[in-house]
Structure 1
Amino acid sequence: MTDAPRYLGSGTMERDPDAASLTGAPPSHLPSRLAISLWDFSWYTRAEEGGPYADLDAACAKAAQLGYNTIRICAAPLLLFGALGLDDLAADLEIEGLGTAPDGGFYGRGTRWYDAPGGYRLNLQERLLELFDAASRHGLVVILASWEYQQSPAFARSPRWFEAIDAVPLQDRYRVLADAWDRLIGALTTAGHRDRIAMVELHNEVDFSILPALAEGGTKELERLRELHPDLLVTASYGKPPHLAMHTVPDGLGAAQFHVYSYGVLDALQQQIDIRSEGTAGFPNPAFPNPALAALLRPGAPSVAEYGRLADWKYRATVVTDQMFYGYDWIDPDAWDAWLYNGFGEFREVMRREIESRVIAIAAWARWKNVPAVVGEGWIGYTPLHGTFEEGPVGRDLAERGIRAALDHGVWGMVLCSNAAPHHPMWADEAWQLRMNRRILTAPTS
């Protein structure tokens, strides 16, 4: 018989008092926390007259006013510095959007990110410097990424951008990206903006792009780029990191910039209406839309045949399918939201726990590797432009849980929500953004 206390396992252990300390130290010249707004490629694809990015200085000023200190963008390194024979196109890039539909409107009008009316030209290299000048004036730092092997070229009128990067052999794409980033970083350094670079991502969501697995050449190129620029954080982002097997993430990442989405009830809806499938081979597919989707469409929605098709090359240049474009352009957002609210109860606890556990897994991996952790996108998933489920009380509650978990586990930077940006309706919720950004930027780091 002993008087020693019974040992009941980890449940009796006190919480690590250092759990909220940063997972890895960021460069000393950068903010102690990053409050990120996701501007993606929209800073150049939504620059039409009166558009959210027509005036870059005003957009940066508003972001700073709402409490953000970081913007994350597609810097189009392959177009601007890829040595692919595109210099003339970069200097006079015509933004078309996805093209004009038979009814006179434009394709993508009901989507997020793709709702670009187009109709203008720009010099993208000059615009990149203009953005950095504006960011400097308003105290913002910039996360640089590329969406070029996901969607960026689809917004151009000319297919040359897409055709040039698509012609790069698969095994050479990471090398070409790394070389382009080296040149782009050099140009920003010459312009006096090196300290404004918060992070460089070889590519956005390498697991959901037209790229080999990161371990198949990407890690080598990441390490080479890090050696060329040891003062900068250089990494690649994952759209869905292997949360249950984080040990399989390859070494070489300078930061854990991973995305946290919990589709839950949204995925249940998407499966029921079969909206993410691709019908290109036999489009229009006579089985699409199915009755469940047809019941959610707006009155007077055209048939798939009447809706028509984007130029074929644009489908190859993006990860969004033909069925998604049709469905999101013609969905009744109220009916969409009602379905999600009615079904959410079954998924509430799963989605809450999934967000929290994924954040914790990312932070634990970053702490193991001694690198800063960042959640560059999150929290629910891809919804129609005018659906308000993610902007509403349920979505905000899930976002706040994700932010709280991130702060509690030492994540350096995070978005409030992927939709909290000038090109989304959520930008109008100023009070919530101010409150959440204040929470992020005043959180202790040690």
Structure 2
Amino acid sequence: MTETRRYLGSGTTESDTSSLTGAPPLHLPQRLTITLWDFSWYTRAEDGGPYADLDATCAKAAQLGYNTVRICAAPLLLFGDLGLEDLAADLEIEGLGKSPDGGFYGRGTRWYDVPGGYRVNVRERLLELFDAAARHGMVIILASWEYQQSPVFARSPRWFDAIDAVPLNGRYRVLADAWDRLIAAVTAAGHRERIAMVELHNEVDFSILPALADGGSEELHRLRELHPDLLITASYGKPPHLAMHTLPDGFGAAQFHVYSYGVLDALQKMIDIRSEGTSNFPNPSLSALLRPHAPSVAEYGRLDDWKYRATVVTDQMLYGYDWIDPDAWDTWLYNEYGPYREVMRREIDSRVIAIAAWARWKSIPAVVGEGWIGYTPLNGTFEEGPVGRNLAEGGIKTALEQGVWGMVLCSNAAPHHPLWSAEEWQQRMNNYILAAPAGPESSRYLQSQQPSMTVLAPSERTSHAF
């Protein structure tokens, strides 16, 4: 019997989405396996800290299968021409400050658990990182978290005050100028080909910045014209997945973040941990999850006022995360996860697909620079455990099927997080990513570009050396 197939319309015709959404520059890896070092590479460089020895940390990352680190390169501090040159060369790292009980604020959080107590030359350290990356065959995604939180870890408010003094409508221009100078300095140091990507700023939708359409798009175009051989872009914490066509022009890559809070969001709302100024905080639900003998909010005290303005993290989050019982936190999430399981899986898949489809339409590389569940306490293990790893593996699989060029294993897969100790899982997942075929588009980039595209040498513009 001959099998016949009915034609049911073009929607039933399968198309291959596994080739890259857009081809990256030829000198870069065909896939990026990214570990997120954010600002921690200079805020957690204390003696014995996870980034005390940059060469050893890069070596470990390479051993685990990573070929890319994504950092806050602090362009406004280093090259913003904001009168911070002396601070950039001698930055005192304090963290969020000492708490009344003899500890330090933020010790129960991720990214904010900075004990401080040392000074760092950030200019020299950036060059050291590039040198170490070169020795271990890694490339670097350069971003800025400065209008989100980086200055909060300094002892002095000068850094934050200087960037906060820039009028809102001028911040993208100042960022682009600073990036131009920083790129020139990195080029002069012989590391231009180590630059995997430059992001005007991290998560422009969750930072003290105007909408990207209000000046940022023009600055992306300008910076790309100055450096046509580099991928220049900006990142979104929550891109408009249901309306990607509303994004402004100017992206050189689709570096967007994919978080599915699901059950975590339900817990956050129940305990009201992300708000600020709530009367009668903590509420009974949060109080039930706190460790025994947790101090009252009044007893725990507050950071210096300027530090709240310099970060997107609230006072309620800091108190709650510092005093939460991680086991009670995890138990609640595991007990309540069932009804959210399929929703969270599908949300991750649909967001990855939307990002990749938009990137393919624009013919630019797609990257998932952060993901997959959300912000949890430092010692909570929900995302590091079997549930979180399963969601991460699903997201990575979908990303590869959709032609995404680079991705994190998890935002928490970095030296300053407990997940760093899950070595076998990281090696296995990185090998899985690197073994995926990139498709024919990976061998083509700039070949179709006009020969007249040239890059000005640092000497042909304002020179800024390290």
Q: Which residue of 1 aligns with 2:421?
A: 428
Q: Figure out how many residues of one structure are paired with residues of the other and give that number.
A: 437
Alignment match, 1:353: 346
Deviations 1:32-90, CA, capped at 9 Å, x for gaps:
00000000000000000000000000000000000000000000000000000000011
One-letter amino acid matched to 1:345: G
| Helix, strand or coil at the partner of 2:92 | strand
Aligned counterpart, 2:411: 418
Matched residue of 1:296: which SS?
coil
What's 1:282 paired with? Answer: none
Question: 1:206-245 to 2 correspondence within 5 Å?
Answer: 206-245=204-243
Alignment of 1:140-219 (within 5 A): 140-219=138-217
Distance 1:62 1:116 in 2: 21
Partner residue in 2 for 1:393: 386
Cα distance in 1 for residues equivalent to 2:364 and 2:279: 50
Q: SS where residue 184 of structure 1 aligns?
A: helix
Identity, in percent, stands at 82
Q: Distance in 2 between matches of 1:312 and 1:345?
A: 41
In structure 2, distance between residues paired with 1:416 and 1:185 = 28
Give 1:267's aligned residue. Answer: 265
Equivalences for residues 44-443 of structure 1 within 5 A: 44-279=42-277, 285-443=278-436
- The Cα offsets for residues 326-360 of structure 1, whole Å up to 9 and x where unpaired, read as 00000000000000000100100000000001000
One-letter code aligned to 2:412: N
Aligned to 2:461: none
Show CA shifts across 1:74-126 (max 9, x none).
00000000000000011110000000000010000000000000000011000
Q: Partners of 2:221 and 2:417 in 1: how far apart?
A: 35
Structure 1 unaligned residues grouped into runs of 5+:
280-284
- The C-alpha deviation readout for 1:143-163, integer Å capped at 9, x for no partner, is 000000000000000000000
For 1:390 and 1:341, locate their aligned partners in 2 and report how far apart those are by CA, in whole Å. Answer: 11
- How many Å apart are 1:5 and its aligned residue? 5.5
Q: Deviations over 1:383-437 (max 9, x none)?
A: 0000000000000000000000000000000000000000000000000000000
The amino acid of 1:300's aligned partner reads H
Letter in 2 for 1:12: T
Mapped to 1, the partners of 2:350 and 2:6 lie a distance apart of 29
Residues of 1 paired with 2:318 and 2:57: CA distance?
27
Q: Alpha-carbon deviations, 1:167-220, whole Å to 9, x = none? A: 000000000000000000000000000000000000000000000000000000
| 1:6 Cα offset (Å) | 4.0
Runs of 4+ in 1 over 2 A off after TM superposition: 3-13
Counterpart CA distance in 1 for 2:241 and 2:367 is: 15
Q: Deviations over 1:258-291 (max 9, x none)?
A: 0000000000000000000011xxxxx5410000
* 2:30 aligned counterpart, secondary structure: coil
Residue type at the aligned position of 1:153: P
State the shift of 1:12 in Å: 3.4
Counterparts of residues 34-49 of structure 1 (less than 5 Å): 34-49=32-47
Quick check: 1:16 aligned with 2:9?
A: no
Aligned partner of 1:230: which letter? P
SS at match of 1:252: coil
What's the CA shift string for 1:2-35, capped at 9, x where partnerless? x99644345632x213x10000000000000000
Q: Secondary structure at the match of 1:347?
A: helix
Structure 1 counterpart SS, 2:337: helix
* Cα distance between partner residues in 1 of 2:25 and 2:363: 13
Structure 2 residue ranges without an equivalent (≥5):
440-466
Structure 2 Cα separation of the partners of residues 161 and 376 of structure 1: 26
User: Cα RMSD over matched residues?
Assistant: 1.1
Q: Structure 2 CA distance, aligned partners of 1:278 and 1:411?
A: 37
Alignment CA distance shift 1:61-1:9 (3 Å): same
TM-score by length of 2: 0.93
Equivalents in 1 of 2:6, 2:433: separation in Å? 40
Per the alignment, in what secondary structure is the counterpart of residue 33 of structure 2?
strand
Code of the residue aligned with 1:442 in structure 2: it is A
The structural deviation recorded for 1:133 is 0.4
CA distance in 2, matches of 1:206, 1:332: 32
Whichever residue aligns with residue 8 of structure 2, its letter is L
For 2:413, give the aligned amino acid. A
Find the aligned partners of 2:213 and 2:392 in 1 and give their Cα distance. Answer: 31
The 2-side partners of 1:4 and 1:112 are apart by 58
Q: Structure 2 CA distance, aligned partners of 1:323 and 1:5?
A: 60
Match of 2:451 in 1: none
- 1:381 shift after superposition: 0.1
> Partner of 2:454 in structure 1?
none
Aligned-partner residue type, residue 86 of structure 1: L
